[in-house]
Amino acid sequence: MREREDEWTGLMRLAISGDNAAYHRLLKAVTPVLRAAARRGLARAGQPVDQSEDIVQDILLAVHLKRHTWDANAPFAPWLFAIARNKLIDALRRRGRRIFVNIDDFAETIPGEPAAETAPASEVAAQLRSLPARQREVLQSIAVDSASIKDTAAKFAMSEGAVRVALHRGLTSLTAKLREQS
Amino acid sequence: METDQLIRTLAADNTEPARPVGFVLALALVAAAPVSVLMFVATLGVRPDVMTAMHNPFFDLKFAVTLALAISAVVLSLHLSRPEALLRGWALLLLVPAGILAAGIGGEMMMPQRLPMMTRLVGNNSRACMTAIPLISLPLLAGALYGLRHGAPTRPAVAGAVAGMLSAGLAATLYASHCTDDSPLFVMTWYSIATALVAAIGALVGSKVLRF
C-alpha cells in the first residue's frame, strides 16, 4: 500500500514536469482503485454498483483540471482520495440518497478486486455531444480515434497549438457541464 | 467514451499545469481593488484630520486589526483551496486579528477616558460602518471567489465564508481611514457585525460557485 502510494507520488511529480507517459501510467494505475471505491460507495448507498464508471470519469476529470492544487512536496494519495471522496459524495447526492462515505473506502481498497461487470459510462459521452463542433471533433479524434495531437492538427487543418487549446477548452467545458447537471 | 479513452485524452492534455491558486487570487484582488477604492473615495473618503489621527495609537490599531484579518483570511483561503486540507488548527489564524483587538481593548481600559464605555462602543458611525464595509467589500468578494474557483475546496461554504472575511478585512481597512470612531470597543462591535454579514454572503455564494 505504502509502496504503491509512493510510486503514485513519483509518477505525479514526473507528470507535472511534463512527462505524458508517466501521467498516463499514473491515471491507469489509480483508476481500478477509484472504481472499487466508487462501487463500494454505491453499494453502501443501496445503488446499483454497475453505475460506477460515470463517477470514475468524473473523478479523473477533476484530478486532471485541479492537479495544480497538488503540492509536489506532499504525498499524492491523500490529495487524490480527497477529490475522489468529494466527487463520490456529489454523485451519490445527485442520486438522492443520504450517504456515508468513509475515507477508508479509498485507503483500504485493494486494486485486484473482482472486476464484475461495469456498465459503460454515459454522462461524459452525452455532454460531449453538446460541445461546440470544433472542440467535439478534436476530443473525438484524440479520444475515440486515438489520433495524436499532430495527426489531429493535420486532419482538421489546424495548428498543433490550436488543437491543444481546443482539447483543453473541450475538457474544461465538459467538466463544467457535468457539474451543472448535478 | 470509455475510461481508457478519457485517460488517453487527459494524458494528451498534460501541457503546462495551470497557475497556482495564490497567483490567480492575487490577480483577481488587484483587478477588484480599484472598484472598491473608487466606491470608497466617491462616497466617504479619508477623514479630514487624518494627519493628526495617525498620532493616535487607537486609530492605527484599527488598521492592524483589519489588515491582520485580511492577511490571515488570505492564508486560510489558500489552505482551504487544496482538497485534502483539514480545517483544524488553521482556523486559529483568525485569532490573530481577534488577539490584536483584545490587546487594544485592554490597553484602552487602562487609560483614562473622557467618554464612558458604552458611548465609545456605540460611537457615532455604527450605521455607516455596517453599510459601508459590506458594500465596499462586494467587488473584492467577487474577486476573491473568482480567484478561489481556481482551487479545489472540498468545503465550498467555509472557503466562501473565509473569502468574505478576506474582502471585509480589506474593505474595513479603507473604511477605517474614514471613520472617526477609533475605540477598539467600536471596532469589536460594528466591524465584527459587518464582517459576519460579508462572511455569510460569502458562505452562501461560495457553496454554489466554489464547488468543482
Contacts of A15 in chain B (CB under 8 A): 14
Q: Which residue has the higher pLDDT, B143 or A130?
A: B143
Average pLDDT of the residues in B139-168 = 97
Euclidean distance between CA atoms A63 and B187, whole angstroms: 43
* pLDDT for residue A109: 54
What is the domain partition of chain B in residue ranges? Answer: 20-209
Q: In sequence order, which residues have a C-beta less than 8 Å from that of residue B207 and are 6 or more positions away?
A: B156, B157, B160
Contacts of A85 in chain B (CB under 8 A): 154
The closest of B85, B65, B79, B44 to B163, measured between CA atoms, is B79
Average pLDDT of the residues in B78-96 = 93
Q: Are A33 and A111 in contact (CB under 8 A)?
A: yes
Q: How confident is the model at residue B22 (pLDDT cuts 50, 70, 90)?
A: very high
B3 and A57: CB-CB below 8 Å? yes
pLDDT single digits (tens) A26-75 = 999 999 999 999 999 998 888 888 889 999 999 999 999 999 999 999 99
pLDDT single digits (tens) A98-151 = 555 665 666 555 554 555 567 778 888 888 888 999 999 999 999 989 899 999
Instruction: Share the mean pLDDT of chain B.
Output: 95
A23 and B8: CB-CB below 8 Å? no
Residue A159, SS3 per DSSP:
coil
Contacts of A61 in chain B (CB under 8 A): 6, 10
CA distance B87 to chain A (A): 14
Euclidean distance between CA atoms B139 and B36, whole angstroms: 6
Q: In sequence order, which residues have a C-beta less than 8 Å from that of residue B67 and are 6 or more positions away?
A: B169, B173
* pLDDT for residue A116: 59
Average pLDDT of the residues in B27-34 = 98
Average pLDDT of the residues in B160-180 = 97
Q: Report CA Rg, chain B.
A: 20
Euclidean distance between CA atoms B48 and B40, whole angstroms: 14
Which cell goes with B8? 488517453
Average pLDDT of the residues in A147-167 = 92
* pLDDT for residue A46: 85
Model ipTM value: 0.87
Residue B18, SS3 per DSSP:
coil
pTM here is 0.90
Average pLDDT of the residues in B126-139 = 96
The three-point CA angle A3-B154-A25 to 5° equals 35
B87 — contact with chain A (CB < 8 Å)? no
Q: Scanning every residue of chain B, which has its alpha carbon at the shortest distance from the alpha carbon of A174? A: B6
Sign for the CA dihedral angle at A181, A170, A143, A78 comes to: negative
Q: Please return the burial class of A162, using the count of CB atoms within 10 Å of its CB with bins 0-12, 13-18 and 19+.
A: middle
Q: In sequence order, which residues have a C-beta less than 8 Å from that of residue B169 and are 6 or more positions away?
A: B66, B67, B68, B69, B70, B71, B73, B97, B195
DSSP state of A108: T
The three-point CA angle B187-B190-B191 to 5° equals 60
* pLDDT for residue A179: 84
pLDDT single digits (tens) B36-49 = 999 999 999 999 99
* pLDDT for residue B97: 97
B12 and A82: CB-CB below 8 Å? no
Q: Are B146 and B28 in contact (CB under 8 A)?
A: yes
Q: Report CA Rg, chain A.
A: 17
Q: Are A93 and A162 in contact (CB under 8 A)?
A: no
A78 and B17: CB-CB below 8 Å? no
B84 and A78: CB-CB below 8 Å? yes
A167 and B212: CB-CB below 8 Å? no
Which cell goes with A47? 445503488
